[in-house]
Amino acid sequence: MIIFSLWLFVALSACHTPNVVTKPSAFAKTIKKANIDKRPFLMYSGVDTFVITHIMIENARREMTVQLDRIDSIQRMNLIYPNTLQKKQVVLYMHDSTSYTLDEPHTIPIRKIARIQLVE
């Protein structure tokens, strides 16, 4: 049973290939390109997970403005079983654990992003 579980884990994790961007100077460019490609965005801030419904990068001020929403059941399923992803997605991991609200846009400095994961 343990061998089967290990084999299943390896098989499922091989189905999606995440590319991780950790160079802060590439964050704005990566987000812009993903937004043009209409990829769905997720954001992890502490223990909270959000869907980014709208994102805009302001290069001059090195900030992004985001509108957040809760994840739905399909997105939650994709988090549990990553090989079921319907679309390529972008995951933003934040340095801090700020508690964001869902009813208003948030302007967040790019420097608060710890890393970006592109799930292919």
Question: Residue 35 burial (CB < 10 Å; 0-12/13-18/19+)?
Answer: middle
Model-level pTM? 0.75
Per-residue pLDDT of the chain (120 residues; tens, 9 = 90+): 565 444 444 444 545 456 888 888 899 999 999 999 999 899 999 888 899 999 999 988 899 999 998 887 666 666 655 555 556 889 999 998 888 988 899 999 999 999 999 887
Ordered by where they begin, the domains of the chain are: 2-119 (2.30.110)
**Separation of alpha carbons 32 and 65, rounded Å:** 12
pLDDT for 6? 45
Structural contact between residues 85 and 92, judged by C-beta atoms closer than 8 angstroms: no
In this structure, the number of other CB atoms found within 10 A of the CB of residue 89 comes to 21
Q: What is the 3-state secondary structure (H, E, C) of 21-73?
A: ECCHHHHHHHHHHHHHCCCCEEEEECCEEEEEEEEEEECCCCEEEEEEECCCH
Contacts of 110 (CB under 8 A, 6+ apart): 24, 27, 28, 57, 62, 63, 64
